[in-house]
Amino acid sequence: MNIGNVKIEFPVFLAPMAGYTDHAFRILCKEQGAGVVYTEFVSSEGIIRGSEKTQNYLTFDDIERPIGIQIFGHNPKSMAEAAKYIEENYKPDIIDLNFGCPVKKVTKKGAGSSLLRNLPLMAEIARNVIKSVNTPVTAKIRSGWNNSEILATKAAKILEAEGVAALTIHPRTASSRYNQPANWNIIADVKSKVKIPVIGNGDIKTPEDAGKMFKETGCDAVMIGRGALGNPLIFRNTIDYLKGGKLIPTISPISKINFCLHHISLESKMREDVTVNKLMKKYYRWYFRELPNASEIRTKLVKSTNLNETIKILESFKTYLFN
């Protein structure tokens, strides 16, 4: 499939996830075949102000291509200015507009999914950004603000008319967050009403889920978020499943530990050990859930005071599983 002039080999994408899809995790998923990866969402106002923390979110290596940088904000002028800055200084393959984040600190500023309550402003933001750059501009939306306002198809038509190159649909409302099953029928409806590529997102935890979404919705690509946490192999397994239709075994406990160790090694190339040791603690519940003695190993890892100790704990756990 193509998004604008960007050719995409595998229609299985890594979703942008705040706090998780940093440089190292994107590389980890890219190594396993993710067709497109995305940065954590970045504030347009932070980009314009030159915030050092914001700038760190924008950095990537060519190995990560094709890559999308996702931005959020509520001011059309600021969003356009931020997009232009990103294009000139970072040259991503895609610039993605976040119209779907349901987190209160984002929506209370009139950004993210709150723009589903103001479609004219959403359209104006998309229009201004698209006019300011040559990079393909995509957008990610939810199904609506709440269950009484399901307007993904209406929003999709508006964004298509403004020139958005592709749309990602997360078929939950902003108010439901992740507390209800994703309604894939909404993805199918959007796909039937627009001509641009539609990327389906929500409740893809296995390769079989991805195959089912393609079949039920007709979407052009699938986007995996939480299903990739602790299981970056899901991209490789999904691609293999889509190619051959064979059921893929779940990731083994040993593979999970090896991926965790590799993840640590990638983070260590970019950050100081003390930072890596602290940062990795949020990933352990994903890597080790449902494993033997998972609670005990997570407790040890969270209490670990240095990276060498952490690695020793992981290696000893691997030895325990072998025996």
| Residues with catalytic roles | 101
Specify whether the CB–CB gap between 98 and 107 falls below 8 A.
no
Residue 94: closest CA among 63, 54, 66: 66
Residue corresponding to tokens 């359209």: 123
CB atoms closer than 10 angstroms to residue 292? 11
Q: Classify residue 281 by burial, with Cβ atoms within 10 Å: 0-12, 13-18, 19+.
A: middle
Type of residue numbered 297: I
Specify whether the CB–CB gap between 24 and 270 falls below 8 A.
yes
Residue 120: closest CA among 149, 95, 96, 155: 155
Residue 182: closest CA among 159, 216, 137: 216
Residue 170: closest CA among 158, 162, 180, 157: 180
